[in-house]
Structure 1
Amino acid sequence: MSNHIIVTTGIYDAIKDTLRRKKVSIEEEKRLTEELRKAKQVLRRDLPADIVTVDRKVTLKDHTLDFEHEYIFVPSTKQKLKKNKHSILSDIALAVVGYKVGDVIDWPFRDGERKIEILKVETWEG
């Protein structure tokens, strides 16, 4: 697993803002703060194609709940859950943003710790 996440400056700032506004649990806040401290910030054009970020279609396997699901991560203003478009600042997105295909993340969700694996990341243009 990657020991640091790779994010664009825009995503980095959005996560920082989410933390400032206390939109996450204490455990998530600790984890995200730690990840941001070690995060590598890059320009959008320099972000590798297999990294989870905004405007990507991502297939995840939840090993804890034993299911696979595909998510489309979009800017918060474009979230439409009925169309499977999830905000990049949603709980599931915050857990995997900045990680790459093949990474397995143990994440402290509000309903308990879950192990999430990133199976596939594709560019998505809505």
Structure 2
Amino acid sequence: MTTTTMQPTEGIILSTGVYDLLKDQIRRRKLSKFNEAKLERELKSATQVLRRDLPADVVTADTRVTVKDLESGAETTYKLVGPEKARRKNNTMSILSPIAVAMLGYSAGSQVQWEMEDGIRNYQIVEVAPL
């Protein structure tokens, strides 16, 4: 006999507010066709939770995320905040920036694929921590 956990095995986990922001990005046609189709698929299977119920290792607003570009091997750390709080002088980035939209709802260890200005890129989320 096997037991299963209640955590979703597929799909991203988003707070209701972030889910609504991403739906708005699709409505406003702010994404490439590749990214729009990918995000629509992800949102269909997404689990929506209250912000306080998000697991600590899920990428959302007010998190520090270290991501590895799987082609170059380069690691970069981003401080993700809501669009209204993003300030270059504070070294913070909006959750609606291309790299952030690609990672929202995923947890540490996940691999994501997203179309950037220089083509489709593959990333691995190395670490997620609260700001």
Check whether TM > 0.5: yes
**Which runs of no fewer than 5 residues in structure 1 stay unpaired?**
none
Matched, 1:49 2:56: yes
% identity of equivalent residues: 46
- Any conservation in 2 of the 1:25–1:110 contact (CA below 8 Å)? no
Aligned residues: 123
| Residue 25 (structure 2) aligns with | 18
Superposition TM-score, scaled by structure 2 size: 0.89
For residues 100 and 89 of structure 2, what CA distance do their matches in structure 1 show?
17
Q: What is the deviation of 1:3? A: 2.5
Instruction: Say if 2:43 is the partner of 1:39.
Output: no
Verify: 1:78 aligned to 2:85, yes or no. Answer: yes
Q: Give the structure 2 partner of residue 69 of structure 1.
A: 76
Q: Find the aligned partners of 1:111 and 1:19 in 2 and give their Cα distance.
A: 21
Q: Aligned pair in 2 of structure 1 residues 82, 62: CA closer, same or farther (>3 Å)?
A: farther
Aligned positions of 1:89-100 closer than 5 A: 89-100=96-107
Work out the CA distance in 2 between the residues paired with 1:70 and 1:79: 15
Match of 2:95 among 68, 72, 88: 88
Note the residue ranges of structure 2 that are not aligned, 5 or more in a row.
1-8
Which letter maps to 1:114?
A: R
The answer as to whether partners of 1:50 and 1:122 remain within 8 angstroms in 2 is yes
Larger radius of gyration: 2
Higher relative contact order (CA 8 A, sep 6+): 1
Check if 1:3 corresponds to 2:10. Answer: yes
| CA deviation map 1:25-56 (0-9, x unaligned) | 11110000110000000011110000000000
Larger % of helix: which? Answer: 1
**What letter matches 1:98 in structure 2?**
G
AA matched with 2:92: K
The Cα RMSD (Å) is: 1.2
